[in-house]
A and B are shown apart, each in its own frame.
Chain A
Amino acid sequence: MSSDKAVTLRINGHDETATVPSHRTLLEALRGLGHVDVKCGCEKGDCGACAVLIDGEAVDSCLTLAHSAAGREITTLQGLGTPENLHPLQLSFSELGAAQCGYCTPGMIIASESLLRKNPSPSEDELRHALSGNPCRCTGYVKIFEAVNAAAEVMRNSGDPK
């Protein structure tokens, strides 16, 4: 039977070691390591609050085993930008009031980033499609869509691949 085992996770460009049993999810391991910018909502793939990028693609960390993520590049919200150097999505979400309680925001921004890396100029439909796994209980989505569009424009103009 399984017991605690060390796993090295590459999180926001740094290696960190978690000692967890094989049934621990990546969500639990990340929060255990102090990455509480990854939120825990439903733990069954419905809410997207736990989204992180794995090798550049948004996934629900509650549906990923921690040990399965060894050797992959994991990016959480804090890996996108720091308070001194905010990512355009972080900036537009705060400036345009796209967060109320903020619980959905980390996952919303990760899902948006994953979309914009593949599709820098999403249509309204493409944006809704990409965020349909991220319900928000507060905002009504209009401000969220405005914020993603504003950030997309900044990102297109800056030519910054980040």
Chain B
Amino acid sequence: MYGEFDLTLPQTLQEAVKALNAAGKDAVPLAGGTNVLIDLRSQRLVPKQIMDLGRVPGLRGIVVEGGRVTLGARTTVSDLLASPDIARCGPALVQAATVFAGQMVRNTATVAGNIACGSPAADLVPPLLSLDAEVTLTSTRGSRTVALCDYYTGYKADARAPDELITAISWPVPEANTFGTFYKLARRKGDAITVNGVAVSIGISDGRCVRARIALGSVAPIPMRACNAESLLEGQVLTPERIAAAAKAAAEECSPIDDVRATGAYRRRMVEVLVARLVENAVQAMT
């Protein structure tokens, strides 16, 4: 039923990156398969080779060490939900994992797959952007890290070279005085594609905002940070007027389109509503 391809199952990371280096663009990494199998079936993807990463040891797990949280690339959405470390160091990520697909997809879908699929609606990406996450890319040439906010270079285009694998995702453990949250607007609560995804991370010290991250999904060709909105908040006392101005700026700097789920105009309006609501909630939670 699917176009034919060769399936490889490397047993070590070294074997995987070597094979990927040899195959280049001809090989497609396979993690949970919840995007890849769909794309194979619809023949949007017709690869010569599929490289299943399921046998590579050490790619799944959550570690908090040296002030950073590090996830292996094959950590699943269900792993995020089961982790007390993620509840503490990435509550917005837990909120995104909660409204992610249904149980069977959550049990297999991975964090790296969500990042690498390049969908503007990828639900884990706005929370990770709000946490200042970095992506570790590994090839036969070694490893390098790319800030997630620089990872996407255009619609479904990214900084990953064809012979690189995402091996880890990490971010600094949030300061005690920060509050992070995510909201997914969709047609229904369970198993739905996001109309708007909004994640915020707000830090307040001595009554002033010392950290503002506002990340938006499904309202631009790539998941994005609303940097103009962030700079209207940082260094300021977060009055309702300030928050309203920042929310307006966020709505102005995104570029949503009409699709089957919602109109661009509705999405833009909802960015304003949701950014204001999430920042207000954060302020209230910390005062």
Contact = CB atoms under 8 A, between A and B. Distances in A.
A58 B6 contact: no
B40 interface: yes
Given A51-B104, A133-B104, A45 B40 contact: no
A68 B191 contact: no
A156 interface: no
A2 B5 contact: yes
A132 B191 contact: yes
Contacts of A114: 103, 107
Main SS class of interface, B: mixed
Contacts of B155: none
B4 to A, nearest CB: 5
Contacts of B189: 132
A59 B104 contact: yes
A23 interface: yes
A45 B106 CA distance: 11
Given A23-B1, A63-B34, A2 B52 contact: no
Nearest to B76: A57
B9 A60 contact: no
A111 interface: yes
A67 B9 contact: yes
B33 A58 contact: no
Given A45-B38, A59-B107, A22 B102 contact: no
Interface string B32-52: 111001101100000000101
A121 B82 CA distance: 16
Contacts of B108: 59-60, 63-64
A22 B104 contact: no
Interface string B1-29: 11111110100000000000000000000
B7 A68 contact: yes
A56 to B, nearest CB: 10
A107 B101 CA distance: 16
Given A46-B191, A65-B33, A68-B52, A2 B104 contact: no
Contacts of A51: 104
A113 B152 CA distance: 39
Question: For this complex, into which size category does the number of interface residues on chain A fall?
Answer: 20 to 34
A22 B6 contact: yes
B101 to A, nearest CB: 6
Interface string A62-79: 111101100000000000
B93 to A, nearest CB: 16
B98 interface: yes
B54 interface: yes
A58 B107 contact: yes
B190 A128 contact: yes
Interface of A: 1-2, 21-23, 25, 28, 43-46, 48, 51, 57-60, 62-65, 67-68, 111, 114-115, 118, 128-134
Given A23-B5, A63-B32, A65-B33, 19 more contacts: A2-B4, A44-B37, A44-B41, A45-B104, A46-B191, A58-B103, A58-B104, A62-B37, A63-B34, A63-B108, A64-B108, A68-B30, A68-B52, A130-B103, A132-B103, A133-B101, A133-B102, A133-B190, A133-B191
